[in-house]
Amino acid sequence: MYKLDITVLHDGTVSTYSRGITIEYSSLKDVLIPDDVSRVSIVSYTDLSIDITDVIGIHNDQLKELFLNTVDVSPLNGAKYNNLTTLRMASCINTLDDRIDLSGCPALGLLHVIDTRIGLLPDITACTELCIVVAQRSDLSNDSLNNLDLSALEQMQFFIIDHCLIQGVLPEYIQHWSKLLALSLQYNMLTGGIPQSYSKLAKLKRLSLSGNKLEGDISVITTLNELFTLNLPDSD
């Protein structure tokens, strides 16, 4: 499995690096991805609009890991990456008015969103292999955790959405994540209480809900026998 690093420079020209070889291109459309490349990293230093599907395409069965930095991730909407297991976004934006549809990535196991302005959590309802979702310091202010039904994500082990301005109440569907080890939703805009259904989270070791507008009875935590860390400051 080889990795291809793609850097879009200030003037729109492109530099790629793979297996010790650097190649220069005049634009992203000119970049060729060898058949044995399954990991792609794209970093942009230009203010020019770039379309990542110019190099990856809307259909790609060889891609397994995709790392995006400082690009518009909206072209991922509806992409068919059947074998993609890892998607990382850092300092990216979404120019769509709606959420990004990742239903074409059924093998996705890790979603990492850092310092990114996408407004809404991507549609991951069909990504039933997901076991790690991490979103930190990103803008999800147009969304609520209940706007998507994620009950089918039964492989989930780490669900972390911290400092993302996400709204709403704690969703009941989390009770179906029997493998969940860590739930962290710190410093958002969540309201309401902790659902009694969370007593089904028998393997939960970390619960972090600091910095929200939560209130009410927290006796459900006494049923979580594996719980090791509990963070609830700055709540009611």
Sequence ranges of the domains in the chain: 1-104, 144-236
Q: Taking a C-beta distance cutoff of 8 angstroms, is the pair 49, 27 a contact?
A: no
**What is the structure's pLDDT at 233?**
87
Q: If you search the block for the tokens 């074998």, which residue do you land on?
A: 83
For range 14-23, the mean pLDDT: 94
**What is the structure's pLDDT at 206?**
98
**What tens digit of pLDDT does each residue of 37-67 get?**
999 999 999 988 899 999 999 999 999 999 9
**What is the structure's pLDDT at 36?**
87
d(CA 164, CA 31): 34
At position 143, the amino acid (one-letter code) is D
d(CA 236, CA 218): 11
Give 193-204 as a DSSP string.
---GGGGG-TT-
For range 182-206, the mean pLDDT: 97
Q: Taking a C-beta distance cutoff of 8 angstroms, is the pair 146, 170 a contact?
A: no
Q: How many CB atoms lie within 10 A of CB 145?
A: 21
**What is the structure's pLDDT at 79?**
95
**What tens digit of pLDDT does each residue of 94-153 get?**
999 899 999 999 999 999 999 999 999 999 999 999 999 999 999 999 999 999 999 999
Q: How many CB atoms lie within 10 A of CB 128?
A: 15
Q: What Å distances lie between residue 16 and 3, 88, 111, CA to CA?
A: 10, 19, 24
For range 232-236, the mean pLDDT: 81
Q: Express as a percent the part of the chain with pLDDT over 70.
A: 100
For range 9-35, the mean pLDDT: 93
**What is the structure's pLDDT at 34?**
84
**What is the structure's pLDDT at 95?**
93
Q: What Å distances lie between residue 88 and 22, 117, 194, CA to CA?
A: 23, 14, 30
Domain 144-236 is of which CATH architecture? Answer: Alpha-Beta Horseshoe (3.80)
